[in-house]
Structure formats: structure tokens, C-alpha cells
A and B are shown apart, each in its own frame.
Chain A
């Protein structure tokens, strides 16, 4: 049943998005969606959070399953986060300044990997890119529809800086929407990141309820 429901959820999310990107929708999608919408609406949502949830945040509820995205380099988040204990915002440095967290510039990777683990194949691949003078073409994993206005900056400010939350544990905050990255190699989408997901969190944590706060 659980699996059933996951796939249902996923289908729903897709068709949700399929529709929302304002492209015409095939009749089939249309029917399947209306059925799914009903099914999902009556299913109780189950919350889970293996990460310690910061005390001041009511975690958003929802889960998502999707295949692992094949990246040009299989970047091991687990290694960097779990083992090396590198702070999220060390690499994703724009998160606190801009609406996007940003992929770290290749120079940043090379900063360490000129010397560290240069024998590893993945690093060698990275070095190739660096020498060619171009940055790898990563594939976007966490994506919101084009008509959604989401800023990392505001969320980080509210939940980390304003809340005086220890920045070294920032991963707990990021994890609420990005899942336990310390458990993954390349990033996987673990949360639906659909409107319901955001909505519930906004209600629980006093985020804006105005449509135009997030829709553009």
C-alpha cells in the first residue's frame, strides 16, 4: 500500500506540475489526475524526519520518491557532509544572499582538490573540466515551477539567523526541504516541494498566506 501510495503521490505531483506549467494537458493526464487528486486528498499524510528537527520549526509534511539523477560527476554529498562535516553554506554560498543557493564555482572545488584525493577518478574528472576551463553541466534536482517565487535567502534568514540557530547545524534546516543529504551521494529529491508541502509549512510556521507572496 505504501508503495502504491508513493507512486500515486508522485504521479500526482508530476501531473500537478505538468498542468501548472501552463501547457495543455492530454485527456489521459486529465482523467488520471482528477482521480488521483481525490485519492490523495483522502489519504492521511505521514510525516517523517530522521534528522533532528530544530526546536523552533514545525517541519513540513510530505515525502517524495524519484529516480537518482545521473550527474556528470557522481558528487558524494555524504562524504562531504557526514564525514568531512562541511557546512552546506560553505559551498552553496549564495543561499544566504540570493534567492538561489547556487552551485559552487568549480574553482571552489579545486581549492581543496588540487591537493586532496587527486588520485580518485571522480576528482580526476573534475580536474579535466577545470583544465578545459569549463564547469560541469549539472542537472537540476530541486526545481520549483517557473511561476513560483522562492528565495533561499528569506528562509535562511528567518530560520537560521533571526532564530539565532547555530549556523554549524544549518543542515537540519536545509534538510527540511532537501532531505538528509548526508545520506546521499548526488542530491535526490526527497520532498515533494509542491504547493501543499509549502502551504502546510507556511501555516505551521507563520509564513505568508498571500498567493502573491510565492506566485509570480
Chain B
């Protein structure tokens, strides 16, 4: 559809007066009375193209539920967005969507959204008008407020596109460099290893080209880099030559659940295993690329037996994995959360990457990615290093003004960092927020922003899965439901106007975007596809624009491998695995009823937290499903129910992220526990990331039982043919090499 008029007007929502009244032709399935003359029907003031009551129209936008930046199509009827689906044009998700993407609507229509600006008066936050709020803002950080330099900070989640640009612009105007980009679920160690060893921090991974994937705790089907895209690739990988997936991790993730072979290595020893495999391969001379003898020497200490002793993975398995890598190649070896978030995570990931080098996967299954030409628009990826920095800055009272946007450090920071305590030290805290989460409620000024379906924006996925780089447009699918919310961009723009006159010419963020997009470099604008050559119209229609960029090949570089497993003889025998899950993610979606109601993919538990234990360990503790256990670390303890299964290493206890909110609306508040709270402040040595998986804990029986609320009566099929498994050779015999 071609779109000319201003979309806001275009998306005008038909009269909505709460229950009892229905929209023109919209038989909203409430239980409205059917006596005639009870329902109100309101007509459009002006007839508008494409807005026929009773007929749904699809508009393109971008998903803001996680950082992957999938393209969306939203179904709009009578001016209300009803459902979102993937945007087939987007190379990120090819028209598919995950559960979080589908739930965008519930974030948007959430009953707990903040509906008006709030300002701290005394100890409480009170609703104020926008004028009051803005004047307060101006007085605090306007040009004549005297606030300058690094005393101003901004905490955000991963940002990209023009939001990133204006954030930078604002900070530049103020003269501050404190942009803390924080994500708990990140791949920063992986990225830095890739940068050092391959020269590309987000290399393109060809799952579909791989014959065998060896993944060290990378939950690429669930939470790693770009889940929806990965799942699409995974399907190809399974369908084509029927590759095999080997997953090495302490706790079975969604990916582990789909693996052909799931190998539980002792938590924190994955690096040793990788080197062991590498060593074995070198010994056998299976390596596709010959490596300098120095490396071979340093590897030689990782003999199979030694590795078995360290990792607890039997020699036979190590051999088999090694031979698989060689026979079934081309292979792809990746590493994720449970490998990289240790104090020696960098070394571990480097050892994993070594395997790729040795097997000669570089250029085959790992390729250079297409970087978006405009550097400023590229994604600023979140990490936990910035969290530590922020915590430090707060402790030392380095900040007078702090903006928070799209992040919740008060929830995600370990208790020992005392982020929420020391936040009070900051003179003026401004929260751009949709929901009353922990951080927002600590702010002095709360600015309610539009939801992802009401706001304008552009996104450049950090992971570019295509040969051409993509910029994806986020456009409103409907008129804001709440009158008092504003777009993030609009607010930032009005702040910028105070300091920089150049921005004066933009009425709102919409017009700013329009101009900015139109003035993008030639290699973006030149190859716009579609009927109309006008890039803006094209983006409105397609939701994305692709930039053909030339990628230079990766430059593999070996680094010296020495992976030491840290011996820990403190009184904490177990490893805490704060496992992320597709759904609640890092806790940002805990206020979405759907995502609370959907069972965790592995444990199938709903509406709460649980601790996963291995049957052996459970027997030691004398607990059964539903019993409460106390998980104690050096820096705190949590109490939750156990779920016992064989998908976890006996030395590990896994507590999922997402629950344990003190605030954050009716659906999230006071539900479950937050494992991040009891993490020890350990750092990854090379990158300075927070080593989230390094915390040691002890688990004790709390002698309390409650029924574990989870899906499914029997955990076994009891001989029924529900899911039947056959082996690959059977498959080959019947269907041949597809």
C-alpha cells in the first residue's frame, strides 16, 4: 500500500469508550447487551483510505522485545492493532516470530503502563503535567542548569539506529561520555574473542552450511544473538544433509533439548574440553588447517585423560565428538553464556574458536558480516561491564543526572553492587519508561514513553544475517492508547532543541527520521527495492531497507591458548547457573501475562521460579519436585521450589532469570526469585564483564513443600507413540539424502 498522509492521522483509532461501547462494525467480542440502541457506533470524521471498518490491514514495523530486531507486520482493524506476525521481507526473521514477538501486543496494551509523567515530591512519585515535567527537566539539565560533562550519565539497553544517534548527540551536547549500555543476556565475550581472532565482532554464522554444530552453552535456539533467525537456519540445517547438533553445557537449554548429543561438562571447564578436542584432532592430524607448532605444544598438556579428569566428560565421548567434527564437516563451533560468563570466559571462548580455526571453518561456516555503512547507526550492544562501571560510578557519587531508558539495572544488578541503594545518591534521575519497574520507581522524574507499537524509530540489528546490511523501521501501528505518553525520540528531540538550534527545524521525531533517512549515504539509498524509488515510502511499506555493502574476508589470528580451571575449595560446592529463557528473557517481560502463563520449554513450570537439580543431588538433599531449597552464595541466598530432571550437571543448580520482581505491575510483582541478586561480583579477567555463571553456591533443603505448578501429568509417554524417535541411518534408508 502506498502511504501519503501523516500516519498518525491515518491510524486514527475509532471512538473507543471502554466496555459496553463497540466500534463501527467492530463486533468487539465483549459481552455487550444485544438490545438495540445500547451500543455506540462512531464513524470516521473523514473517510480514510484502507481503513474499512471490519477489514484488517497489515502494516510493517520492527519488534522491540529483544535486540535481534526482527521485522513485524501488525494487523490493524478499526485503528486497533490486534496481532503481530513476522515481516516476510525482513532477512532477520523471514516472516517468523518468537513468543516474545507475538506478545508485543500485550506489552502495548498492558494494564500496568505508566499513563502520565510522574515527579518525586518528598518521598513519593506524583502525577504531574507534561509542562511541569519538561520545565523540571529543563531546569535540571537545560543549558543554563550548569550541568556539564561526565556528571551526566545515560543507561540504556542495546540501542541502534537513530535513537542511538540522538542519544549520542545529547550526551555530546552535554559533553558526557557516560553512556552505559547494559544487557544481562549478551554475547560480549564472544564478540571480543571474534574481534581479536577473526577481526569481526559479529561474524555471520552459517548454521545451514554446517554438517555438525558443536555448541558450548550457546542457546542459539533460545537466547543467543538472534533466536528467530537461528531457528530458521536450524531448520535448514536439520532438513538438508541432516546435520547433527552437539551441545556442551551444565544445564539443558532449549538448544540442548534439541541436541542429538547433550554433554554435561563440569561448569566452567568447557574451555578445557575444547582444547582437549583440539589436541586430539591435532594428534590425529585431522586438522584442516595446519597450526604453528607452538600452539600444538601448548595444547599437548590437554590429554584426553587429563581433560576427562577436569571436565568429567568420558574419553570415549571426547573422541567421538572429535571424530564427528572431522567426518561430518564442515563444522561450526560456537560458545555462549554458560561458557563465556566465567572468570576465564575469554580463554574458554578463545579455545572454542581455536577449534573453528583448526577445522578450517572460517570462510565456510563463519563469514564476515555485512556491517551497516553508517557507523553511527550501528547497534551499541549491551554488556555487563557497563553495569559494573555504572555501579562504581554510583558508589563514588560521580553522577548528578542519570537517564535510564529501556533497561532496569536496579533489578538486574547483583545485590552486592548495591545499585538501587546508591541510586539515591544521584541528584536527578530521569526514567524514560513504559512500566513502573524497579529502576523507574526510584527515579525523580518518570517520563511515560510510547510503546513499540506507538513510537517511531529505526533499528540496525547487531547481527546482520544477510549479505546486504539491513536497516529496519519501527512505525506506529496505532494511535497512542494513553493520551499522556510521548515518543522517546520526541522527548530527546525537545531536550536537544534546548542546546542545539539545528534541531529546531524538526517538528517531531517523525519529521526528523524522515529527513535523516532521506539523507542516508548513497550505498543505502541507491539500492532501494520496490516500485517507488522514494526510500521513505519504501521503508513505510516494506519496513526495512537493505544496504549492499562489500564485506572483506575474515583474518583468522591464533592467540596463545592457556585455559586454567579455577580450583575452588570454599564452602560452596555447587555452581549457580542463572539460565536465561526465551519468554521472560532477563525479566523485562515478566509483566506480560501470556509469557507468564507459557511453560518454560524444559521444566514446563509456569508463573514462578524454580531450581533445577539432578536426581542424584536431589536424592542427597532428600528433596522431590515442589520441595523448597535454599540456594546460598557468599553474597546472599534465595529460596525456591525444585524441579528435578536429568538435563543438568549434578554439580550445578540452575535458577531461571526473569522472576523475583519487587515492582513491575500486577503480573510480575512478588513472583518467584531473582538469581542475579545473589551473584558474587566476579569479573571476567580479559573483558571485565560480570562473570554471571561463576558464582558458587550451596544448596540446602528448606523442608517446605508446595505443589509445583507445571504443565503435564506424566513425564513419560508410557509406551504411547506420541513422539517417536528414529536414528539418522533409518532416515537415510527411507528418505535418502534429502
Contact = CB atoms under 8 A, between A and B. Distances in A.
Q: Do chains A and B touch in the complex (CB under 8 A)?
A: yes
Interface of A: 14, 17-18, 20-23, 66-67, 69-70, 93-94, 97-108, 133-135, 137-147, 151, 189
16 contacts: A20-B34, A98-B25, A98-B55, A102-B43, A103-B41, A103-B43, A105-B43, A105-B46, A105-B47, A138-B42, A139-B39, A140-B36, A140-B40, A142-B36, A146-B29, A146-B32
A107 B47 contact: yes
B25 A141 contact: no
Nearest to B23: A100
A142 B727 CA distance: 62
Contacts of A138: 40-43
B109 interface: no
B27 A146 contact: yes
Interface in B1-48: 15, 22, 24-25, 27-47
Nearest to A70: B37
Contacts of B32: 21, 146
A135 B45 contact: yes
B149 interface: no
Contacts of B43: 102-106, 135, 138
Most B Cβ at <10 Å: residue of A20, A23, A137: A137
Contacts of A105: 43-47
A140 B33 CA distance: 11
A101 B52 CA distance: 10
Contacts of B52: 94, 97-98, 102
B53 interface: yes
Nearest to A103: B43
* Main secondary structure on A side of the interface with B: loop
A214 to B, nearest CB: 13
Contacts of B31: 21-23, 146
A143 B39 contact: yes
Contacts of A137: 15, 40-42
A10 to B, nearest CB: 10
B670 interface: no
A20 B29 CA distance: 13
B47 A143 contact: no
B40 A69 contact: no
A139 B40 contact: yes
Pairs A-B, 3 closest by C-beta atoms:
A100-B25, A69-B37, A103-B43
A113 B41 CA distance: 21
Interface string B44-85: 111100001111000000000000000000000000000000
B107 to A, nearest CB: 27
A94 B33 contact: no
A147 B25 CA distance: 14
A106 B45 contact: yes
Contacts of B38: 139-140, 143
A17 B47 CA distance: 33
Contacts of A139: 36-41
Given A94-B52, A138-B40, A143-B34, 12 more contacts: A23-B31, A98-B25, A99-B55, A100-B54, A105-B44, A105-B47, A107-B47, A139-B39, A140-B37, A140-B41, A143-B39, A146-B29
A98 B78 CA distance: 12
A12 to B, nearest CB: 13
B569 to A, nearest CB: 65
B45 A134 contact: yes
B541 to A, nearest CB: 22
A145 B22 CA distance: 12
Contacts of B35: 14, 17
A194 B495 CA distance: 59
Contacts of B22: 140
A99 B24 CA distance: 11
Most A Cβ at <10 Å: residue of B22, B32, B34, B44: B34
A163 B724 CA distance: 55
Given A98-B54, A99-B54, A140-B39, A21 B44 contact: no
Contacts of B37: 66-67, 69-70, 139-141
Contacts of A141: 36-37
Contacts of A143: 34, 36, 38-39
Contacts of A106: 43-46
B45 to A, nearest CB: 5
A122 B567 CA distance: 88
Contact of B25 (A102, A104, A135): A102
Contact of A21 (B33, B36, B53, B55): B33
A102 to B, nearest CB: 5
Most B Cβ at <10 Å: residue of A135, A141, A147: A135
A57 B24 CA distance: 29
B160 to A, nearest CB: 38
A138 B14 CA distance: 13
A146 B53 contact: no
Most B Cβ at <10 Å: residue of A66, A94, A101, A151: A94
A212 to B, nearest CB: 16
Contacts of A67: 37
Most A Cβ at <10 Å: residue of B25, B32, B43: B43
Contacts of A133: 45
A24 to B, nearest CB: 11
Interface in B507-561: none
A22 B31 CA distance: 8
Contact of B44 (A135, A142, A189): A135
Contacts of A140: 22, 36-41
A102 B36 CA distance: 16
A2 B119 CA distance: 68
B25 A99 contact: yes
B84 to A, nearest CB: 22
A103 to B, nearest CB: 4
A189 B30 CA distance: 22
Contacts of B47: 93, 105, 107-108
Contacts of A100: 24-25, 53-54
Contacts of A144: 27, 34
Interface string B181-224: 00000000000000000000000000000000000000000000
